[in-house]
């Protein structure tokens, strides 16, 4: 099983600042099958980034993803008030598909 470890657990920032979220895999994720989701309280998760670096439809360009192998990063270039949420990474390369434990951006 590929274990995804997200860091930090909580990121305390202000609007306008840059957020850098890390997702580290316990083994290499083939074909960069890493995705990132945003979840706000009481809402369904929303896909932000797929295949490590591709923005999903309708996602603002302040969100970007990068990485390969075992280290992946989600960057929010300038935080907007609506970006304060929990962010999860996920891998679909190997079964069982797994999620990281989440990073809260507050």
Partner 1 sequence: QVQLVESGGGLVKPGGSLRLSCAASGFAFSDYFMAWARQAPGKGLEWVSYITGPGTSTDYADSVKGRFTISRDNAKNSLYLQLNSLRAEDSAVYYCVRANYAFDYWGQGTLVTVSS
Q: Which residues bind partner 1 (CB under 8 A)?
A: 33, 35, 37, 39, 44-47, 50-51, 56, 88, 90, 92, 95-102
> Is the distance from CB of 89 to CB of 24 less than 8 angstroms?
no
Taking the complex as a whole, the smallest distance from the CB of residue 44 to partner 1 amounts, in Å, to: 5
Taking the complex as a whole, the smallest distance from the CB of residue 89 to partner 1 amounts, in Å, to: 10
Residues 1 and 92: their CA atoms lie apart, in Å, by: 11
Measured from the CB atom, the residue of 39 and 70 that comes closer to partner 1 is 39
Among residues 69, 61, 82, 66, which one has the least CA distance to residue 21?
A: 66
């Amino acid at each position: 099983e590929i274990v995804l470890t997200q860091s930090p657990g909580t990121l305390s920032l202000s609007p306008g600042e840059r957020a850098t979220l890390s997702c580290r895999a316990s083994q290499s994720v083939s074909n960069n099958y890493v995705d990132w989701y945003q979840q706000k309280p009481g809402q369904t998760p929303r896909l932000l980034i797929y295949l490590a670096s591709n923005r999903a439809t309708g996602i603002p360009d302040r969100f970007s993803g990068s990485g390969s192998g075992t280290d992946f990063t989600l960057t929010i270039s300038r935080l907007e008030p609506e970006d304060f949420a929990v962010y999860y990474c996920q891998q679909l390369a190997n079964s069982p598909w797994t999620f990281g434990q989440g990073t809260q951006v507050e």
